[in-house]
Amino acid sequence: MTWSVTELVAWLDEVEPIADRRGKFDWLEIPPIASPTAIQDAYHQIARTRHPDLFRNRIDAAVMDRLVRMYARVTGAYADLKEPEKCAAYLRELRGPRAPTVPPVSHGGAGTARLSSRLGVAAMQPMRSEISSSHRPGGTQPPPLGRSESTTATPRPQSTTAAPPVGVPTARSNPPTSPPPVATSPSSEPQPVTRQPSGDIEPAHAMNARALAFYRRAEGALRVGDTSAAMLNIKMAIAADPRSAFLRAALAELSKK
């Protein structure tokens, strides 16, 4: 059942101040655990009560502009949630990133102790054999650890050339050179596309898919001579893609008729 104007204005007063903070499920007035069938039913219920076509001759232009912008949010939420992949991605975004799984830390134990003891015994075997051979009759005593067999230490020649300070290039090293700037001609830079509703540019390239759907409806309304319906759908297309200069030019041209 269609809402009354009073109910519609009350809804606009409620959702418009918090429009940017409302989620996709909030716009369809359903919980995040809703099934695909429930998502479709919720959108159709809102369309039966608050679609702008139902209030075309019942509200003034200011209220109609508010309704078009808020109903475009409803349409955008349904367009994303009715697609299973987009809906699943949005639900993952609502849940947030998962905490990384930390592997359990081993605190040792009997197995670790046995392994360490085996490694210790294996490492001590060569040392014990060397010590026992040095004390055998007729055995030669190995030199002390850390000293060479020669008693005369050969002094190392010291270089008289001081090392250059850090950051100063030497005669052999080449200083780093930055690559020369690449000259760009004005023709290589991307030029802005002038979006005009005169047919010089394809409408599909001048707006997003959501706005294009409303634009096609406006074209259909113009074919049958319904200028008011065409203007309403153009406004909804602008609400779906506010950055489209093509749509704003189309609305300006349509307002002259």
Distance CA 222, CA 230 (A): 6
Contact 177, 207 (CB under 8 A): no
Residues of the chain with pLDDT under 70: 98-200
What's residue 103's pLDDT?
A: 55
CA distances from 105 to 39, 102, 226 (A): 46, 9, 73
Closest CA to 3 of 57, 48, 61: 48
Distance CA 42, CA 48 (A): 10
pLDDT tens track for 39-72: 999 999 999 999 999 998 999 999 999 999 999 9
Paired tokens of 5: 């104007």
Closest CA to 234 of 76, 9, 72: 72
What's residue 240's pLDDT?
A: 85
Count of beta carbons in the 10 Å neighbourhood of residue 86: 13
Q: Look up tokens 């392994």; give the residue.
A: 115
pTM score, whole prediction: 0.52
Task: Give SS3 for 131.
Answer: helix
Domain boundaries, the chain: 5-95, 203-255
What's residue 54's pLDDT?
A: 93
Distance CA 120, CA 122 (A): 5
Longest Cα separation, the chain: 122
Domain 5-95 fold = Helix Hairpins (1.10.287)
Which amino acid type is present at position 181? Answer: P
What's residue 31's pLDDT?
A: 93
